[in-house]
């Protein structure tokens, strides 16, 4: 059981890394695309928008984390 | 070869070349410091394990229905690719240390020397470190080979692109007899992130039932679009952090400082 848990934990760490919010966002965007496709509504735009938004948010979170851990930087995050 | 197949081969080649450069540094360090035969045995063992994973999972993945496969592979590639992109953008802005093969080589060499006396014959340290290094770097390549290859039903093409990249890196390493510090790793990582995210987005949406305008030709807009967006984010982040933060990067990164050229 311990090995199975370790395997799934390792796989999660490998694929998702340290930003689980992006992974959840990708799954939700795919689900929304599937829903729109089933409803025969224009659907292709969901993923590009989601990718841009998720990447920007992920970078913002990571940059803030880096700013916090690099107190020697001459500037602080733009908005707290 | 179709455009998607060229994209597949190029993505796998670049990803594999980057990982192979990193693995080569580790093997060179333990081989030169401890034992070449044991280090190369470790490489062989890791290569066999990686090949077995590709053979076992490649067949299983290609047996899935195409829509299920594409939504699964697209989602995974996108999650994975966004990680690569985020790290590349942070490196470009100086908020994350860039890879420096000379520094890694120095650290690995010191660790190998500090690991204790070397016995004649088989060296367990050299075997374990090189095996682990190749296995860990190779797993990312296996993931990319399997996902890209399976979604196009071209696992052999993906494996061939990976094999070619490894071969070229080995030849370059043997010729240089040193870590390949001048390879623009960070720019290549940005390019891989762009490709993984673009193909992930494309296949994921198709698998979920979406229709792209222009079908496969949409990739000709998606890939440059993701590249431009990533560079715009890197540029915006650099403007906020200022030139001082880029000074945190470790030596040997000048060759690929300008990620915009990726």
Structural domain count, chain B: 1
Tally of CA atoms within 13 A in the half-sphere of B138 that contains its CB: 24
According to the model, what pLDDT value does residue A74 have?
Answer: 47
A63-72, B98-107, B216-225: least confident range? A63-72
Contact B204 A54 (CB under 8 A): no
Proportion of chain B above pLDDT 70, given as a percent:
90
State pLDDT tens for residues A40-68.
888 899 999 999 999 999 999 988 877 77
A26-35, B160-169, B173-182, B240-249: least confident range? B240-249
Higher pLDDT, B99 or B223: B223
State pLDDT tens for residues B146-205.
888 887 788 888 889 988 998 999 898 888 877 777 778 788 888 989 999 999 999 999
According to the model, what pLDDT value does residue A30 have?
Answer: 96
Using the predicted structure, report yes or no on whether residue A35 has a pLDDT greater than 80.
Answer: yes
Using the predicted structure, report yes or no on whether residue B48 has a pLDDT greater than 60.
Answer: yes
Distances (CA, A) of B46 to A76, B28, B99, B129: 44, 15, 23, 11
- How close is the nearest chain A Cα to the Cα of B224, in Å? 12
Contact A55 B76 (CB under 8 A): no
> Which chain B residues have a beta carbon less than 8 Å from that of A44?
205, 210-213, 218
Mean pLDDT of chain B: 83
Neighbour-count burial for B217-253, b at 16+ CB within 10 Å, e otherwise? ebbeebbebbbebbbebbeebbeebeeebbebbeebb
> Which chain A residues have a beta carbon less than 8 Å from that of B86?
19, 22, 55, 58-59, 62
Contact B208 A58 (CB under 8 A): no
Torsion angle of the four alpha carbons B79, B80, B85, B87, in this order, in degrees rounded to the nearest 10: 110
| Residue of B184, B205, B187, B259 whose CA lies nearest to B77 | B205
User: Which member of A15, A34, A74 has the closest CB to residue B242?
Assistant: A74
A&B contacts, CB < 8 Å: 116
According to the model, what pLDDT value does residue B60 have?
Answer: 81
Domain boundaries, position B65? 3-261
According to the model, what pLDDT value does residue B165 have?
Answer: 92
> Which chain A residues have a beta carbon less than 8 Å from that of B212?
44
Using the predicted structure, report yes or no on whether residue B260 has a pLDDT greater than 60.
Answer: no
């Amino acid at each position: 059981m311990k090995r199975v848990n370790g395997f799934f934990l390792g796989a999660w760490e490998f694929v998702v890394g340290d930003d689980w919010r992006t992974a959840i966002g990708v799954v939700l965007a795919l689900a929304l695309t599937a829903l729109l496709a089933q409803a025969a509504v224009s659907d292709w735009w969901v993923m590009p928008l989601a990718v841009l938004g998720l990447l920007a948010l992920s970078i913002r979170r990571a940059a803030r984390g880096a700013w916090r851990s690099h107190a020697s930087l001459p500037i602080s995050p733009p908005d707290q | 070869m179709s455009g998607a197949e060229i994209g597949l081969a190029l993505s796998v080649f670049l990803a594999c070349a980057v990982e192979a450069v990193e693995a080569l540094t580790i093997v060179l360090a333990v081989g030169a410091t401890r034992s070449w035969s044991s280090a190369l045995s470790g490489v062989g063992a890791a290569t066999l394990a990686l090949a077995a994973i590709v053979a076992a999972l490649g067949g299983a993945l290609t047996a899935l229905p195409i829509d299920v496969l594409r939504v699964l592979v697209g989602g995974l590639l996108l999650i994975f690719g966004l990680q690569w992109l985020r790290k590349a953008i942070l490196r470009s802005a100086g908020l994350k240390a860039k890879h420096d093969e000379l520094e890694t080589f120095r650290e690995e060499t010191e660790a190998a020397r500090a690991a204790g006396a070397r016995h004649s014959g088989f060296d367990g340290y050299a075997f374990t470190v090189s095996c682990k290094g190749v296995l860990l770097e190779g797993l990312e390549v296996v993931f990319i080979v399997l996902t890209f290859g399976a979604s196009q039903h071209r696992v052999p093409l993906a494996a061939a692109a990976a094999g070619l990249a490894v071969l070229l890196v080995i030849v370059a390493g043997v010729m240089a007899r040193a870590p390949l510090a001048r390879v623009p790793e960070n720019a290549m990582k940005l390019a891989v992130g762009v490709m993984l995210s673009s193909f992930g987005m494309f296949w994921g949406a198709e698998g979920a039932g979406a229709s792209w305008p222009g079908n496969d030709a949409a990739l000709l807009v998606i890939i440059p679009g993701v590249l431009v967006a990533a560079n715009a984010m890197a540029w915006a982040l650099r403007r906020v952090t200022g030139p001082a933060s880029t000074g945190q990067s470790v030596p040997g990164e000048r060759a690929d400082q300008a990620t915009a050229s990726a």
